[in-house]
Structure 1
Amino acid sequence: MTSNLDPKDWAAFRSQAHNLLDRCITQIAEAQQHPWQSPPEDAAERYAIGRHQSEGNELSARIDEDVLPYHGGNTHPRFWGWVQGTGLASDLIAGMVGATINTNGGGRNHGANEMERAVIDWTRVKMGFPEGASGIMVAGTSQATVIALQCARLRAQGTVRSEGTQAGFTCYAADGVHNATRKAIELLGIGHNALRLIPSSDGQMGASALREQIRKDRANGLCPMAIVGTAGSVDLGGFDDLNALADIASEENVWLHVDGAFGAWTRIADAPWRSLSDGIERADSIALDFHKWMYVNYDCGLALIRDEAEHRAAFAARPAYLQGADQGLAGGDPWFCDYGIDLSRGNRALKVWCALEMFGEEAFSEAITRNCELARLMGQEVISRGMALLSPVTSNICVFSADPDQTPEAQSALNSKIALDLQLSGEAVFSTTDVNGITCLRAAIVNHRSTKEDVIAALDAVVQAKGSTG
């Protein structure tokens, strides 16, 4: 008897799948011809479950017409809105293989566990962590931050898993820290009032202000739990002085966590950008993403923890139905469910492994370096066109105002309109952010397809949009 959940005709399915694969490869190969476009007004109707049930060729045709055109835009070479990676051709291979073997990577004895360990170990080496350091692949930096700060909380209070949070914990970060840190502190029951936002100076958390805040908190009977350093700030691409933070963390016996969502990958960039993340090797934990500056498909992040024993102690629990064994499928210790939140886990490592094996580490180093070079070029071109940088270009992010001669209010309105106009026209995607009270245009270049010609064309489009608005 044939299952109703298998194709009725495998030969026909094979043909349809081959045709759809060809269509997907064409769209990736011609990414420059497929910018973001607004979904159709009847998108909800098109996607409603059960109203248009299809088989075989009908489903492939619907995907071609209703799904592939309405992507998020980040595959296009002039997409610089927010920090979103582009995806790689190797992800097609990883996706097919992943769907075929349908891995649950929570544990047990199968190849996915060894592949994940290989990816973690490669990253450990790139970040300068010692042999034996631990890690776990997660959805992204937001989840990785929860993992890391749970480890920090357990170090600060060894009974936290059994008794809950008892101490008055405090955490410290620069005033522009990503919202993932606040969410993690809230989820851990510490509360965001315990997050001390330390003023920045020249884009970095102030060391003296940090020391003074820790001193005050200790004097008030509180327990400093973690310092969160930033490698690549979300708005401006800035980097904390991680060596200075590591010195303070060591002196104060406080956990040092680094939000390296994209900026940690400067560790494989060329000079001078590699030095931006100097000191990251001294952290107790790092949160980073492969789906940003390593370009692989969503979602794919990593929590990297210096001390494996602390990592395991923060999460391990083995009820009877998860008992391991010396041999067989229940073997393969350690299990990744002992190092994080999820028992049911897909094989995220497959995307990274395929990418590195297909293209090689040097290709990623070159792409990251080129992104920084393009951001620097964009800054130079902004100035040459009579526009204004609103922050120095430190790494891969360029923020600017199209008409600095106007009032802050008028600049904000103009920059917002230009961003929207260019998105709707498909010419380029900038996001916006606020700097010194001005809403500015922001390019976050984590796009391996971007070229010098794309930068020039996009800024020409900004100037043209500015003129038509004026």
Structure 2
Amino acid sequence: MTENSMKSCGLDPVDWEDFRSEARRMLEASIDQLQQVAERPWQAVPEAVKEGYTVRAEGCDAGEMVGRITEEVLPYHGGNIHPRFWGWVQGSGLASDLIAGMAGAVINANTGGRDHGANYMERAVIDWTREKMGMPEGSSGVLVAGTSQATVIAFQAARLRVLPQLRKTGQGTARLIAYAGEGIHNATSKALELLGIGSDNLRLLPLVEGQIDLGALRAQIARDRAAGGLPFLLVGMAGSVDLGAYDDLNGLADVAADEDLWLHVDGAFGAWTRIAEQPWRGLSDGIGRADSIALDFHKWMYVGYDCGLVLIADEAAHRAAFAARPAYLEAAERGLAGGDPWFCDYGIDLSRGNRALKIWTALEMYGEAALAAAISDNCRLAALMAQEVEARPEMGLAAPVVSNVCVFTARADLTPQAQSLLNSEIAQSLQERGEAVFSTTRVQGVVMLRAAMTNHRSRDADIRAALAAVAALAAVG
């Protein structure tokens, strides 16, 4: 550009053809990033690049901006696009996200309400998910940033059920009690804290073979009632954060029905076994009996961040917990202010981006069967990793692989302290060398290597190469 075509008295390009050319260059760079992910592992951000992110007073043209993004942004990603990324539980992103992202950017939809296409698309995505989870027809839902936000929304609806005047009078002196298994995700504690219930009122029940002890649960509920507490919420796990374990969801649903508790299922990633092959599909049997489910599309459905969902079986209870229509948000029978429902009545956000577009695009481009096959393959890869670990006498599994998470130690023959130090060092070294990304967790006080398979790009060769790299570093250590 001989002149700064982006600079004018307004914010739109002066020279649209020039802008079109640079946007195409950005598109090509983006496709290269996707096509070459295996050659682009995580890398540390150089100090000069960090300093270059400082916001400047003056603007630049599109050509300079594309160049800077290509050199200063694309290389320094979080690693989760790479085929050997199994750290934490992060989705890998899809090529369809690029197409959806372009459409979403130019539409710039606010899906809080009103009558436009994005809201109808969100309703379709919610209804498809409701059906896959086995929840009753008419169940409600809203797309959110992620499971942490979904959990807050579900817990508020649960709280309102036992305290109908809550929105006007507050919780008062009521001492609400919630129940979950040991190892439940921190989102549960954080939601209880944010809502003013307090994490001290969360009872963590012992696990038997990775599941809540139902007898201990019933006994604890009885003790809390006798002490003047108000039990209101039971949280089940569909894919525990550390080991990928599943509660007996049918058993929890029976307890919830007997004790008049709201059953919530944390299905952040594990809920998606509902579309996997057997035996993995059976892990989440009973999830459709929940009063609410929190899950993410940006984890085990691979779509780009951020994209979560809360499903609530009782639509009236869901709406009652959040609906508020001041005069400036009044609906109309016709025109743009029409349409029903308005999603701002079902959650925290009034202004909301079009999260449904990337889900709908992925489902339409790939089809449910392809996504289900990728989920099943992730479980198979986790089982393969476990087999490879067991084939190496120096290594050891922390627990049998249940779903898509494999946790192990590189040297089972060392003391717990030595294992912890070695496993931590191996995780960091492999990340820095760009060979593989494991996270770590603690099992019985020992820091272990943890692989969470939510990556559709991983293959058998990646598993074997990564374990060979672990073994090599363990031998040196």
TM-score, length basis structure 2: 0.97
Q: Give the whole-Å Cα distance in 2 for the aligned partners of 1:328 and 1:4.
A: 30
- Deviation sequence 1:108-162 (CA, Å, 0-9, x none): 0101110000000000000001111100000000000000000000001111111
Task: Give distance in 1, aligned partners of 2:162 and 2:237.
Answer: 21
2:458 paired residue number: 450
How far 1:2 moved relative to its partner? 5.8
Amino acid in structure 1 at the alignment position of 2:49: A
Given candidates 10, 14, 19, the residue that maps to 1:8 is: 14
Q: Secondary structure at the match of 1:69?
A: helix
**Counterpart position of 1:322:** 329
Which one of 425, 433, 443 corresponds to residue 417 of structure 1? 425
Instruction: Tell me what 1:29 maps to.
Output: 35
Aligned partner of 2:388 in structure 1 is 381
The answer for the alignment partner of 2:126 in structure 1 is 120
SS in 2 for 1:172: strand
The residue that corresponds to 2:207 in the other structure is 200
Instruction: Please report how far the alpha carbon of residue 7 of structure 1 lies from its aligned counterpart in structure 2 after TM superposition.
Output: 1.4
Amino acid at match of 2:87: G
Report the counterpart of residue 353 of structure 2 in structure 1: 346
Cα separation, partners in 2 of 1:137 and 1:247, compared to 1, 3 Å: same
Paired amino acid for 1:287? A
**1:268 aligned residue:** 275
Which of 353, 366, 371 in structure 2 is aligned with 1:364? 371
Equivalences for residues 158-197 of structure 1 within 5 A: 158-166=164-172, 167-197=174-204
1:42 aligned counterpart, secondary structure: helix
The letter for the 2-side match of 1:23 is: A
Q: Tell me, what secondary structure is at the counterpart of 1:246?
A: helix
Cα distance in 1 between the residues matched to 2:266 and 2:355: 20
State how many pairs are aligned.
Answer: 469
Secondary structure of 1:261's partner?
coil
CA distance in 2, matches of 1:221, 1:468: 58
Does 2:80 align with 1:74? yes
CA distance, structure 2, for counterparts of residue 112 and residue 58 of structure 1: 33
- 1:223 matched residue in structure 2: 230
Quick check: 165-174 or 139-148, which moved more? Answer: 165-174
> Which residue does 1:400 correspond to in 2?
408
Residues 3-12 or 79-88, more deviating: 3-12
User: Residues 410 and 51 (structure 1 numbering): CA distance in 2 closer, same or farther, change over 3 Å?
Assistant: farther
How far 1:3 sits from its partner (Å)?
4.3
Equivalent residue letter for 1:11: E
SS in 1 for 2:193: helix
Measured after TM superposition, the shift of residue 334 of structure 1 is 1.2
State how far apart, in whole Å, the 2-side matches of 1:45 and 1:169 are.
48
Does the residue aligned with 2:76 lie in a helix, a strand or coil?
A: coil
Letter in 2 for 1:269: A
- Deviating 4+ runs (over 2 angstroms): 1-4, 51-54
| Cα distance, 1:51 vs structure 2 | 6.1
Given candidates 436, 439, 445, the residue that maps to 1:431 is 439
Q: In the aligned structure 2, how far is the partner of 1:212 from the partner of 1:284?
A: 22
Question: Percent identity between the aligned chains?
Answer: 64
* Counterpart among 307, 324, 329 of residue 314 in structure 2: 307
Give 1:99's aligned residue: 105
| Cα shift at 1:44 | 2.9
Q: Which residue of 2 aligns with 1:148?
A: 154
- Counterpart AA for 1:380: Q
Out of 57, 63, 71, the position equivalent to 2:63 is 57
Write the letter of the residue equivalent to 2:359. Answer: V
Q: Aligned to 2:344, what secondary structure does the other structure show? A: helix
Q: Deviations over 1:403-444 (max 9, x none)?
A: 111100001111011001100000000000000111010000
Pairwise CA distance, 1:223: 0.6
Q: Distance in 2 between matches of 1:157 and 1:364?
A: 41
Number of the residue aligned with 1:294: 301
Instruction: Give the secondary-structure state (helix, strand or coil) at the position aligned to 1:332.
Output: coil
Post-superposition Cα deviations, 1:90-125, rounded to whole Å, max 9, x if no partner, equal 000111011101000000010111000000000000
Question: C-alpha separation between the residues in 1 aligned to 2:398 and 2:99?
Answer: 42
Q: Which moved more, 1:166-175 or 1:67-76?
A: 166-175
**CA-CA distance at 1:221 after TM superposition:** 1.1
After superposition, the C-alpha distances for 1:261-296 in whole angstroms (9 at most, x for unaligned) are 000000000000000001101000000000000000
1:152-198 Cα distance to aligned partner (Å, 9 max, x none): 00001111111111321000000100000001001111111111111
| Residue-by-residue CA offset, 1:295-323 (whole Å, 9 max, x unaligned) | 00000000000011110011111110000
1:466 corresponds, among 457, 466, 474, to 474
What's the TM-score, normalizing by structure 1? 0.99
Q: Deviations over 1:21-62 (max 9, x none)?
A: 011011101111110000112233110001674212111111
Q: Which runs of 5+ in 2 are unaligned?
A: 1-6
Measured in 2, the distance between the counterparts of 1:277 and 1:443 equals 21
Whichever residue aligns with residue 175 of structure 2, its letter is G
Corresponding letter in the other structure for 2:442: D
